[in-house]
A and B are shown apart, each in its own frame.
Chain A
Amino acid sequence: MTSMTGAEVLWEVLAREGVDVVFGYPGGAIMPVYDALAGARVRHVLVRHEQGAAHMADGYARASGRTGVCVATSGPGATNLVTGIANAMMDSVPIVCITGQVASRLLGSDAFQEVDITGVTLPITKHNYLVARAEDVAPTLREAFFIARSGRPGPVLVDITKDAQQSATEFAWRDEPVRLPGYRPVYPIAPEAIDRAVALIGEARRPIILAGHGVVAAGAGALLGQLVDRTGIPVASTLLGLGGFSASHPLSLGMMGMHGEAWVNHAIQEADLLIALGMRFDDRVTGRVDTYAVSARKIHVDIDPSEIGKIVKVDLGIVGDVAEVLSRLAPRADFRDLSRWHDRIGELKGDSAVRDIQSLPPSGRLYAAHVMHDLHRLTAGQALVVTDVGQHQMWEAQYYRHDHPRRLITSGGLGTMGFALPAAIGARFAAPEADIWVVVGDGGFQMTAAELSTCAQEGIKLNVAIINNGYLGMVRQWQQFFYGGRYVATPLRNPDFVMLAEAHGLCGLRVTAREEVAGAVERARGEPGTVVIDFRVEQEDSVYPMVPSGAGLHDMIRRPPSESPLVETADSD
């Protein structure tokens, strides 16, 4: 037992939980914690806005599989975290958010910078705590880390009053497991459910596996590979599932959903069995639910029982960790001759007209699809790509083929513009050797561009590819398709991004033609510091195919065929 302040205990517990970096911003109600940082074994990264701190913790967690940590002060510091917390909640990312709070005697008095942050974050955290006594700091933080990372991961917020940070307590580290009587992170898998799944798979003639974020989170890629190799069942991925199953595998179909591959969506609609692994039938994945895969029986494997039957009625729900379920299922599922089904999918692929990239009119302009395709080639598909939200995000998902898990980090459920740059800063600490590319639109970049300062101050190397079309591109696309082409509030007058990079003491490059792409990418990779590349792309290009909101999954808007299509295909290298 040693006597320590609550603030000192905090850093001690973080270090013992294996935390090597936290992202944060100081302020009045968290100053005792910052004062104690001097003696801590944890690195602190000073952000420019607390939203960035939450996204950094999120990016760190996604890239590493560990729990990310962010720190903010009370009031505005805490509320600035909210978007980042909601983002982590929607995508089931384990982060622990530590906020300062006014002294306990002032709680409820509308004191300076007081906000009821546990109340505010109640629906967007997996759990949260208000700590008002120094002796509660250690046990609460241990529970927070345990809850954040176990079961279906998620954000946990710990709000600590200033007096709890300042007052002394006897600290002794206890190694025994956290005991939470009401918390059930995992349920035992029922053997009968596995029997039933084996039987359903045995009867299927046109099965498809739908691989989601749960495959990545559970580290179940190899087990999924076993199942696929034994059974010959093709795999479609959700956006967050990309990389969970190698895109180079012959039975990898690609992405499903609103901007998924046309043949994938058609195959799902024709399937007689869907095996959904760690995904939640988001509306961007299903399209109109009452016409979704109507002839398919459905097996839904998810660690969260409340997801089963939420959107799509299933024939068999299996509650469990995807890796656990696959380790029991894969050895028992038998090889079937699915060649007719493979042939049919091949036909759909052929029917799906030529790939988007081939149908681009040869206008001499730079297309985002080209940038993504070239980036994939130039980085040999090995980069860690962090994308923002919008058109560029979909183009990345379509044209950058990910063979490894945790090599695509993107905001899926919440669709948070401004996510990419800070998330990439977090990912940098999880993957110090990785070739990290931030792929971001000109709109989203400006939401958190201040974090370039963080890159400069902390000596963080990132490659930032701004896909600059001078519009809020995805909204512009919807305006073009569904709002009579009225481009209201979507054209952007941007700063000079090259000068903006230079203003931060960083390297800025501009690319306006396709033949300049390779040179700029090589140059960026060679620079020791963060590089911003302003890719000036075709302004009014759209993402195809597109399932309009509320339409059936088979009901896609396709790119109008070009009169003189480009000869290159996405698979040409």
Chain B
Amino acid sequence: MSKSRTFITYVEDRPGVLNRVVSLFRRRGYNIESLTVGRTARPEVSRITLVVAADDDTARRIEANLYKLVNVLYVADVTGAAAVVREMALIKVAADNGKRAEILQLCEVFRARVVDVAPDSLLLEATGAQDKIDRLVEVLRPFGLLEMVRTGAVAMLRGQPAGAVATAPEWAALDRAAPDSRPPMTDEFAAA
């Protein structure tokens, strides 16, 4: 069964690394729903959060294929794990004097912030899980969406960072084999 999967990936911060990751997904026909890349606590390391539609077997191979890239340091499929997943949206919505109060009320419910007010529009900033942003967008749509940008998801496990999530018994051997051969990135990040 294909579903949205979230991967956390650490990569070396070098020219062309993002291209290698994206090229892998293109070549193997994996469908990227969102991709976010940014700095980490260590300057030479970047972190990519990938959301991909995949079944269990495909998810396993995505992880294995990512690990084949020389510049990829660590991969974790955090789907189903206790993770905080957030994305941010900037939404410009039509709002004249008559509608402004109503929109501000909705913002309160969704904990969205008003970051700019113009005579006939509001610029809102919202952070949250994807479905929360989706719902905010739906309730704002009738007022008139003038412009919108969403970042794609970033994710972090609660508590200690965990490794890959086992998906099927036949993969158990692989899972147990993996931690030894992975660099101790997770521990370093936990301390940072």
Contact = CB atoms under 8 A, between A and B. Distances in A.
Contacts of A183: 70
Interface stretch (B128-136, B143-151, B180-188): B180-188
A122 interface: yes
A306 B68 contact: yes
B177 interface: yes
B133 to A, nearest CB: 32
B173 interface: yes
Given A317-B171, A319-B174, A309 B72 contact: no
Interface in A136-176: 147
Contacts of A122: 19-20, 23
23 contacts: A118-B16, A119-B19, A123-B23, A123-B27, A126-B70, A181-B183, A182-B11, A182-B12, A182-B183, A186-B181, A187-B174, A187-B178, A190-B177, A192-B176, A193-B177, A196-B173, A305-B174, A306-B64, A306-B65, A306-B67, A310-B61, A318-B173, A319-B177
Q: For the complex of A and B, list the 10 residue pairs with the smallest distance between their C-beta atoms, beginning with the closest.
A: A193-B173, A306-B64, A305-B64, A190-B173, A182-B73, A306-B65, A127-B70, A187-B177, A190-B177, A183-B70
A181 B13 CA distance: 13
Given A119-B19, A181-B183, A182-B70, 18 more contacts: A182-B11, A182-B12, A182-B73, A182-B74, A187-B174, A187-B177, A305-B64, A305-B67, A309-B57, A309-B60, A316-B170, A316-B173, A317-B171, A317-B173, A317-B174, A318-B173, A319-B174, A319-B177
B139 interface: no
Interface of A: 118-119, 122-123, 126-127, 130, 147, 180-184, 186-190, 192-193, 196, 304-306, 308-310, 313-319
Contacts, number: 77
Contacts of B115: none
Contacts of B61: 306, 309-310
Contacts of A319: 173-174, 177
A545 to B, nearest CB: 32
Interface size class of B (residues with CB under 8 A): 20 to 34
Query: Which of B11, B70, B171 gathers the greatest number of chain A CB atoms within 10 Å?
Result: B70
Nearest to B20: A122
A315 B173 CA distance: 11
Interface of B is mostly: helix
Interface in B28-72: 57, 60-61, 64-65, 67-72
Query: Which of B68, B71, B183 gathers the greatest number of chain A CB atoms within 10 Å?
Result: B68
B172 interface: yes
Contacts of B72: 182
B67 to A, nearest CB: 6
B60 A181 contact: no
B68 A304 contact: yes
A180 B70 CA distance: 8
